[in-house]
Chain A
Amino acid sequence: MALDNQKFGATRERLDSMILPEVGCTAKARECAIKRIETMGLPHRRDEYWKYTRPDTLIQPVAPTAAVFDSNEPLIFGELDRLKIVFVDGLFNGDLSDDLSLDGVQIDRLEDICCQKNHWAEEFYGTLEARGQSHVERPLAALNTAYAGDGVVIRVTGKLSKPISLIYIHESEVSDVFLHHVVRVDAGAEATILENGPAAARFNKCMEIDIADTGVLHHVRAQGRDHERRAVTHMFARLGKESVFKTFTLTANGVLTRNEMVVELTGDDATAHVSGAALGDGDFHHDDTVFITHNAVNCESRQVFKKVLRNGATGVFQGKILVQPGAQKTDGYQISQSLLLDDDSQFLAKPELEIYADDVVCSHGSTSGAIDDEALFYLRARGVPEGKATDLLTLAFLAEAVDEIERVDLREEINGRLAGWLERRRG
């Protein structure tokens, strides 16, 4: 078939352009990942799962260049007490990073896990990614498992005194980066992981997260700054009994961003909140693709996604809740909304519910709208200039997503970025 020929031709071309990193203990996982890619093929624009986002530039052998954004705005989270782990164009930088020792956590570089016999991360690397392929194919995640050049493996064994902060600095216009992280939160342990920075001209990142019974993980990420960057990220999370996972992503700028979040609730009474706020201007294309599987009793999941789009920007949301047989008392909620600041911008949403249990509560909603004229007039009649009033209403629109972040200081950091972005565009 012509389509298959095209698709597998492009896949072969991509695989042939790459060199497998020499890492002993993950070699088997990497080989398996390559087999998965060869079977699935890399995404093609005719693939249903890529209907709204063109994958071409994410899979072509040479990454399109991306200018490094020149800004005097300091990086986010800069004022927080945190443990910094810095990657420059995808390579761990020990000079810019903090000492990786902190009570309650063991942090190793991906390449270090091979130096130790029976390293805990060995059994996780590529495992959750492979598991996440079961309902929908995610070949770019398999590509990551196969070719990831760097990354960290984080084992949380206690309640951490400060967040672990992964910082991705972009310096080269031609950087093409694969990072792969593994996070394991032990029973009763609790951590906050932050991520920020544009990372590379083209960035493929995968994070596998395993949260044991009663473990808690908060994750806040800010993708932004560089206008021309491209990113495809995957998060595979598996939640044990009574565990909690809350993740929030801010995306501002970027010519192409696809964030896939694959969450499986495998223990009873677990909670997963997945949320995001995106700000897009001009040729911005942003895609949140979420797949939440309820595989246990009495679990709660929430998806809250808000996008503000202007000047022809495009926002995509594909969100699914799958309730497996026996996952009774499931409480699933999903909302995706866009605020279109002009007629040229568009929001494409595909909410899905697939339910095989009879005692569940699941709701979903999706809307696109403009600024409320009545509210705008009310603010202006009180003396608030139109631009400022529009910003206030825009921030109010995003608030439901931002409020999903539990820590007040992190919420304020995000709100500060949102306000700054809007203000800069007001001129």
Chain B
Amino acid sequence: MLEIKDLAVKLEEEDKQILKGVNLSVKAGEVHAIMGPNGSGKSTLSYVLSGKDGYDVSQGSALLNGADLLELDPEERAAAGLFLAFQYPVEIPGVGNMTFLRTAVNAQLKARGQDEMSAAEFLKAVRAKAKTLKIDAEMLKRPVNVGFSGGEKKRNEILQMAMLEPKMCILDETDSGLDVDAMKLVSQGVNALRGEGRAFLVITHYQRLLDHIKPDIVHIMADGRIVKTGGPELAVEVENNGYSDILAEVT
């Protein structure tokens, strides 16, 4: 599904090396978690994969089902099946949540050469999915993320994911700012989307989210590299001992 090879990335403005050769292979149906201390490059990886400006890829490659992600515009990456659940979902005053969702869904269908969804079909689908995430009709009518609580924003991200049905989902610290109940709700939403044709990359600081979204493989990232890879037990080890033991061991 996702093949990242030797990816090195600098910040365009500061000439600061953030990623220093990341290797990662995610297969369809798998859930990978990336953990790591602050500043290790986790969020940068998610932004570079989704095509945000401001980063300079100096070496390496990132392929999504064979397509060279780094050559594509953000919208083309999305149409190819990539989805980033933002750590800080952006507020967009003046654009209604429903308009936004429908525009996005139809743009992706169109890019893939498929028929666009009718207003009625769309409404039916979005209502059903919103209900399972406990997103009420009022929230759908409001401008995108404007006045949403932290939990509502994250649920809105998962709703977008459910509507867009991407193949490769990256969750960037989706647990930040969530209380226990909201985390459960978001996790249920994610788990409902787990399946054969879809893979997840879950970026998090804490093991807690991984209690709900159980990963197949856990990576530890530090100083721009993946320094250790293991099973779910690795997350437990981090939770119990912190990162320092692991980092001392690998460096």
- Chain A interface residues toward B at CB < 8 A: 373-375, 377-386, 388-389, 392-393, 395-397, 399-400
Whether A396 and B107, one on each chain, are in contact in the complex, defined by CB atoms closer than 8 angstroms, is: no
The one of B84, B93, B95 that contacts A381, using a Cβ cutoff of 8 Å = B84
Q: Contacts A373-B53, A388-B103 hold; do A381 and B74 have CB atoms under 8 A apart?
A: yes
Complex interface: chain B residues within 8 A of A378 (CB)? 86, 89-90, 92
CA gap between A380 and B76 in the complex, in Å: 8
Whether B104 and A383, one on each chain, are in contact in the complex, defined by CB atoms closer than 8 angstroms, is: yes
Whether B79 sits at the interface, judged by CB under 8 Å, is yes
Complex interface: chain A residues within 8 A of B77 (CB)? 381
Complex interface: chain B residues within 8 A of A386 (CB)? 73, 75
B116 CB to closest chain A CB, in angstroms?
Answer: 12
Complex interface: chain B residues within 8 A of A377 (CB)? 51-53, 74, 90
The one of B53, B86, B103, B164 that contacts A392, using a Cβ cutoff of 8 Å = B103
Whether B74 and A380, one on each chain, are in contact in the complex, defined by CB atoms closer than 8 angstroms, is: yes
The one of B53, B73, B94, B104 that contacts A382, using a Cβ cutoff of 8 Å = B104
CA gap between A392 and B108 in the complex, in Å: 16
Complex interface: chain A residues within 8 A of B94 (CB)? 393, 395-397, 399-400
CA gap between A377 and B49 in the complex, in Å: 13
B182 CB to closest chain A CB, in angstroms?
Answer: 21
Whether A384 and B92, one on each chain, are in contact in the complex, defined by CB atoms closer than 8 angstroms, is: no
CA gap between A293 and B201 in the complex, in Å: 61
Whether B50 sits at the interface, judged by CB under 8 Å, is yes
The one of A374, A385, A399 that contacts B90, using a Cβ cutoff of 8 Å = A374
CA gap between A393 and B53 in the complex, in Å: 18
CA gap between A420 and B110 in the complex, in Å: 20
Whether B137 sits at the interface, judged by CB under 8 Å, is no
Complex interface: chain A residues within 8 A of B89 (CB)? 378
Write the B93-119 contact mask toward A (1 if CB under 8 angstroms, else 0). Answer: 111000110011101100100000000
A141 CB to closest chain B CB, in angstroms?
Answer: 35
CA gap between A126 and B184 in the complex, in Å: 71
Q: Contacts A373-B53, A377-B53, A379-B100 hold; do A384 and B90 have CB atoms under 8 A apart?
A: no
CA gap between A381 and B100 in the complex, in Å: 12
Complex interface: chain A residues within 8 A of B174 (CB)? none
Whether B104 and A396, one on each chain, are in contact in the complex, defined by CB atoms closer than 8 angstroms, is: no
CA gap between A380 and B79 in the complex, in Å: 10
CA gap between A381 and B164 in the complex, in Å: 11
The 3 lowest CB-CB distance pairs between A and B, nearest first, are A396-B94, A383-B78, A380-B74
Interface centre among A379, A381, A384, A395 (most CB of B within 10 A): A381
Complex interface: chain B residues within 8 A of A393 (CB)? 92, 94-95
The one of B91, B93, B107, B143 that contacts A384, using a Cβ cutoff of 8 Å = B107
Whether B204 sits at the interface, judged by CB under 8 Å, is no
B154 CB to closest chain A CB, in angstroms?
Answer: 14
Pull 28 A–B residue pairs with CB atoms less than 8 Å apart, ordered by A.
Answer: A374-B90, A375-B91, A377-B52, A377-B74, A378-B89, A379-B92, A380-B51, A380-B73, A381-B50, A381-B52, A381-B78, A381-B86, A382-B78, A383-B78, A383-B79, A383-B104, A383-B107, A384-B75, A384-B104, A385-B73, A385-B111, A388-B107, A392-B95, A393-B95, A396-B94, A397-B94, A399-B94, A400-B94
